[in-house]
């Protein structure tokens, strides 16, 4: 009986591994781009230098290897931002944490013991006229680390990481 359980477990493990590999290779054949990061928000800067001008633009952060650029596509598919890899001077990843005050007041004071965390990727770059600019992208917590790794790999520049407490 013990051998039967071991053999069945080994078979199920091999079957699930083969199934996972089959799905991975089929997703690569379908042209799925691994350099796209959904659920991102582009925080548009104003000419006066404020961080946030108004509503954040929701969309997808894309590292396009053919155009050698970082693009931010709005939910409608139209580009909101495009930065060439060569014009990027510096990239910074910041993980900001702050107490959950509203939840603590409205629901329970125990929410003060946990922090909400936000992930930001900032690009410092020069535009076509040579003027220095920056772009701040708020990333989803589920793909923030992958976006940072992709930014380093695609641009060839190191991403400075800042962790706020």
CATH of the domain at 38: 2.30.29.30
Instruction: Select the more confidently predicted residue: 21 or 6.
Output: 6
* Residue 70 burial (CB count, 10 A): 27
**What is the tens place of the pLDDT at every residue in 14-71?**
555 454 444 444 444 334 456 899 999 998 876 655 555 567 899 999 999 999 999 9
Tally of domains within the chain:
2
| 95 plus 135 within the same structural domain | yes
Q: Which residue has the tokens 């155009």?
A: 67
Instruction: Name the token pair of 26.
Output: 């089929």
Domain that holds residue 24: 1-32
Q: State how far the Cα of 164 lies from the Cα of 80, in Å rounded to an integer.
A: 28
Q: What is the pLDDT of residues 83-138, one digit of tens each?
A: 999 999 999 999 988 887 888 888 888 877 788 889 999 999 998 898 999 899 99
One domain for residues 54 and 110: yes
Judgement on whether residues 57 and 104 belong to the same structural domain of the protein: yes
| Of 66, 109, 111, the residue nearest 84 (C-alpha) | 66
Together in a domain, 137 and 152: yes
Tell me: do 69 and 90 sit in the same domain.
yes
Q: Which residues are within 8 A (CB) of 103 and not within 5 positions of it... i.e. 6 or more apart?
A: 111
Q: Is 156 helix (H, G, I), strand (E, B) or coil?
A: coil
């Amino acid at each position: 009986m013990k051998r039967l359980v071991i053999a069945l477990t080994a078979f199920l493990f091999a079957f699930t591994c083969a199934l996972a590999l089959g799905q991975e290779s089929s997703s690569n054949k379908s042209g799925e781009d691994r350099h796209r990061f959904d659920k991102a928000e582009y925080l548009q800067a104003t000419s006066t230098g404020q961080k946030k001008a108004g509503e954040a633009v929701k969309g997808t952060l894309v590292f396009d290897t053919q155009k050698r650029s970082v693009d931010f596509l709005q939910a409608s598919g139209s580009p909101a931002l495009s930065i060439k890899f060569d014009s990027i001077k510096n990239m910074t990843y910041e993980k900001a944490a702050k107490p959950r005050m509203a939840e603590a007041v409205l629901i329970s004071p125990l929410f003060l013991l946990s922090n909400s965390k936000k992930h930001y990727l900032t690009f410092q770059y020069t535009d076509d006229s040579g003027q220095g600019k920056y772009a701040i992208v708020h990333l989803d917590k589920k793909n923030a680390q992958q976006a940072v790794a992709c930014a380093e790999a695609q641009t060839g520049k190191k991403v400075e990481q800042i962790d706020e407490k």
